[in-house]
Structure 1
Amino acid sequence: MAHPARQWTLRRRFTRLLLFAALIPALLFSAVMLWQQYRASRTSLGERVGLSASLTSTSIDDFMRSRLAGLTLLASTRDAPLADWSPDLDRLRQAYPGLTSALVVDATGHVVAASPAPPPGVLGTPASRVDDRDYFTVPARTRKPHVSDAFRGRVVGNTPLVAISAPIVRNDELVGVLEASINVESFARQRGEAFRMNGYEMLLLDRGNHVIHATGGLPYGFMDAVSDPRLTIEADAPSNTARTRFEHDMLDGSAGYVARARMSSGWTLVLVAPVRNLLLSVGRNTLVLLALLMLVSLGVLAATWLQLRDLAQGTGHLLDTLRKFALGDPLDTGEQAPMPRELQPVASAIRDMSGRLNTAYGELSNALITQRDLAASLQRVVDDRDQEIADRTAELRNAVDELEKLASIDALTGALNVRGFRRDIGALVEDPECEDMSVGALIIDIDHFKAYNDRYGHPAGDTALRRVVGAMQSCMRGASDTLARVGGEEFAILLRDADIALAIEVAQRICDTVRDARIPHADGIDGVITISIGIAAQPSPELMDHLLSQADEALYRAKRAGRGRISR
């Protein structure tokens, strides 16, 4: 008979050992996994914030550069008296909605025309003088376009502003300065809100390290001076190249990454990315893992208890039956035998039934049951492996599709490579809806680019390539136009639904935009990077190789004519 005080001794010991063997490795594995996840997430955060700073500084530079180009064009081509420029200022603001106001200032610093018009009586008074503003003094002194530091409006409104300006020069004499003010919120607020949604803080500084814009999580306001060396960068730092550092004590005392990028305008973009969000994520994962471990522990306890209970009952009943059979006693299938002691009944039954045939039959029956269970377990494993293979096959197909997309993109510039360009041409030729569509082609070559690499080095050459591609993309009509890098410094543009006149217009705009970008090139034309463009067009997508060959021949005619121009 089983002893009540020692009935569950083996069960308790087995349960403790099973919990120890299952939980300790699980806890260690979870701790290592959480630590590796945190390290990987922190490294990824640093890379993301640096890349975001570089891309955003480039985006703001392109925003300011495009508007400065329009302002410079107007200042260099308008011949009317300065007081008659108000309609031109209105059209300038309509063309660039981000401009809050525009002024024409004479050579002495007096405002002579403005849009919107100031209150009556302001023009001609001391209040209309701007000779103390850098947007007047710098272009008046250097005779070059200028992007100002932060300031508040005085002639038209009192909002936080930055300005772009260009000198008005006639017959080598300074006639005045054309200035346009840009509300800081028009180009900084949306970017700042997007960064805050991702847990970042954005700070934009002018040349004097005064705040142009700061998101709500930073303790700075407009035009506040920033002296924290963690948020500033050297004046000679490379343009649009982020410098990222991990700081253990940032503005609010928490740790995180700070990425700083100097822009070509002299401004500084700063992104602050605290790691507290990563810690919160790791904390949530820790709670999930702890909850999972608790559920696993409860499951192990329940399964162990049920299994051992069934095993103890079944073994006790079986041994009692075998003992009766060995003694020749009649078997009573309805009788419930008491729970035996855990090891003693088994040893007693083995001694009683040693050598009997029924023991062998019982062992054979148990072996068959075990084999059946193993076969079922093996079938479940096979089914699981089949499902895993199917899942891996689907993942592999997706990876192959993604690699196919990546294989069509030039990694340096983001434009299509030759493979992607050929695939795009094939899609155009095979599309029945494009059968009667006129097609234009531009073959573009950066002038004297080998000399640029020899003088400035290949990293600077890569940056120049990206800037030239950005300038070309800003001149394209939309997603229907295709830009591809087909050589080291050679590019091709495919214009859908474009005749020769439209192709010439787009080519001239691209040529002028690249020149106006003023990318320094001591060995280039006028000391800047220029491009030569060959143009061709045909009424349908047939014979695309012939079209590209015509554009290539036109490119060589542009080079022979002196480079820095277009040719058809």
Structure 2
Amino acid sequence: MAWVEEEVHRSETATDSELQLSDGRWVCKSISMLETGGWVTLYSDISEQKAAAQLLERLATRDSLTDLANRRVFDRTLETVFDTAKKTAENLSLMMIDVDHFKTFNDTYGHPAGDKALQRISAVLQASCRAGLDLVARYGGEEFAVILPGASLEECSAIAERMIVAVRDLHIPHAASPSFEIRVSIGVAEMRDDMVNSRELVERCDQALYEAKSAGRDTVRSWAGAQLSDRQSRRVSA
């Protein structure tokens, strides 16, 4: 009865609204006032419309192959967290990840196998990050990017090391690769006070990724010290 009284009160004062039932369905609640002083409340099932809207929203924000955030979400998020970090003087790190020799993988095994490999890789990249904090996105093709709010360069590098090992542990065969398995190269960078916009952070991270590839791939390099320490490099290569 208490719920009925609350519902009556809401009906007297509320405008049209939507609510989700305990079984997951969605209904639209429309209220029409009567000249005699009462009202009529109409509940319409809009579950299909809601599902369609949620699907469209997901398609607009997620990469269809890997189900990671897409490039549009990455760009928008990075700009937002960069501006916030500048105002609050908090740490912000970025990671760029490239699948080594992926073109030859597709040439050797075919694009369906390449798609499956990217799905497996994206899953371990996501699992290696801090849940609820880091944003993992498909940057384009075989390249991924990770935004790490509040993370120092050292913390970012540690996560990158975990990713290197996690991808190795997948043991995805790649006969056209020097390692005979799929590997990734990772560049990491940290926001600096003299950076004007998020694009500068992306450029520094790209530079670190280039250094990782030049160093033989299947490794991590950081911008700020050009390279990781010898201790870190040995641990990554182990």
Q: Structure 1-normalised TM-score?
A: 0.29
Task: Report sequence identity in percent.
Answer: 38
The structure 2 residue matched to 1:547, chosen from 182, 201, 212, is 201
Considering Cα pairs closer than 8 Å and 6+ residues apart, tell me whether 1 or 2 has the greater RCO: 2
1:204-353 alignment, distance < 5 Å: none
The structure 1 residue matched to 2:212, chosen from 550, 558, 564, is 558
Structure 1 Cα separation of the partners of residues 176 and 70 of structure 2 = 28
- Shift in alpha-carbon separation, 1:406–1:526, aligned structure 2, 3 A: same
Residue 405 (1) aligns with residue 58 (2):
yes
What is aligned with 2:117? 464
What is aligned with 2:7? none
What is aligned with 1:265? none
Structure 2 Cα separation of the partners of residues 465 and 449 of structure 1 = 10
Could you list the per-position Cα deviations for residues 68-113 of structure 1 after superposition, in whole angstroms to 9, with x for gaps in the alignment? xxxxxxxxxxxxxxxxxxxxxxxxxxxxxxxxxxxxxxxxxxxxxx
> Where do 5+ consecutive residues of structure 2 fail to align?
1-41, 223-238
The structure 2 residue matched to 1:496, chosen from 149, 164, 172, is 149
Structure 2 Cα separation of the partners of residues 432 and 550 of structure 1 = 17
1:110-259 alignment, distance < 5 Å: none
What is aligned with 2:188? 535
- Shift in alpha-carbon separation, 1:506–1:542, aligned structure 2, 3 A: farther
Structure 2 Cα separation of the partners of residues 447 and 498 of structure 1 = 26
> Where do 5+ consecutive residues of structure 1 fail to align?
1-386
- Shift in alpha-carbon separation, 1:468–1:434, aligned structure 2, 3 A: farther
For 2:162, what is the secondary structure of its paired residue? Answer: helix
Structure 2 Cα separation of the partners of residues 493 and 434 of structure 1 = 21
- Shift in alpha-carbon separation, 1:512–1:453, aligned structure 2, 3 A: same
What is aligned with 1:525? 178
Which structure has greater helix proportion? 1
Q: Which runs of 4+ in 1 moved over 6 A?
A: 394-398
- Shift in alpha-carbon separation, 1:529–1:434, aligned structure 2, 3 A: farther
- 2:108 maps to amino acid: R
Q: Across the two proteins, how many residue pairs are aligned to each other?
A: 180
Check whether the contact 2:82–2:92 (CA below 8 A) recurs between aligned residues: no
Structure with higher Rg: it is 1
- C-alpha deviation, 1:519, in angstroms: 0.9
For 1:528, what is the secondary structure of its paired residue? Answer: coil
- Shift in alpha-carbon separation, 1:436–1:401, aligned structure 2, 3 A: farther
- C-alpha deviation, 1:499, in angstroms: 0.9
Structure 2 Cα separation of the partners of residues 434 and 483 of structure 1 = 23
Check whether the contact 2:97–2:209 (CA below 8 A) recurs between aligned residues: yes
For 1:471, what is the secondary structure of its paired residue? Answer: helix
Check whether the contact 2:79–2:198 (CA below 8 A) recurs between aligned residues: no
Structure 2 Cα separation of the partners of residues 432 and 401 of structure 1 = 31
Cα RMSD (Å): 2.9
- Shift in alpha-carbon separation, 1:506–1:434, aligned structure 2, 3 A: farther
- 1:435 maps to amino acid: T
- 2:221 maps to amino acid: S
Structure 2 Cα separation of the partners of residues 517 and 391 of structure 1 = 45
Structure 2 Cα separation of the partners of residues 398 and 466 of structure 1 = 25
What is aligned with 2:161? 508
Structure 2 Cα separation of the partners of residues 432 and 472 of structure 1 = 24
The structure 1 residue matched to 2:137, chosen from 454, 479, 484, is 484
Check whether the contact 1:436–1:539 (CA below 8 A) recurs between aligned residues: no
Could you list the per-position Cα deviations for residues 444-486 of structure 1 after superposition, in whole angstroms to 9, with x for gaps in the alignment? 0000001001111111111100111112122112110110001
Structure 1 Cα separation of the partners of residues 86 and 75 of structure 2 = 19
What is aligned with 1:315? none
Structure 2 Cα separation of the partners of residues 478 and 508 of structure 1 = 17
- C-alpha deviation, 1:551, in angstroms: 0.4
Could you list the per-position Cα deviations for residues 155-195 of structure 1 after superposition, in whole angstroms to 9, with x for gaps in the alignment? xxxxxxxxxxxxxxxxxxxxxxxxxxxxxxxxxxxxxxxxx
Check whether the contact 1:429–1:542 (CA below 8 A) recurs between aligned residues: no
Structure 1 Cα separation of the partners of residues 188 and 83 of structure 2 = 23
- C-alpha deviation, 1:431, in angstroms: 4.9
What is aligned with 2:19? none
Structure 2 Cα separation of the partners of residues 538 and 431 of structure 1 = 12
The structure 1 residue matched to 2:73, chosen from 407, 420, 424, is 420
Structure 1 Cα separation of the partners of residues 60 and 218 of structure 2 = 32
What is aligned with 1:440? 93
Could you list the per-position Cα deviations for residues 18-39 of structure 1 after superposition, in whole angstroms to 9, with x for gaps in the alignment? xxxxxxxxxxxxxxxxxxxxxx
Q: Structure 2-normalised TM-score?
A: 0.67
Structure 1 Cα separation of the partners of residues 84 and 220 of structure 2 = 30
Which structure has greater strand proportion? 2
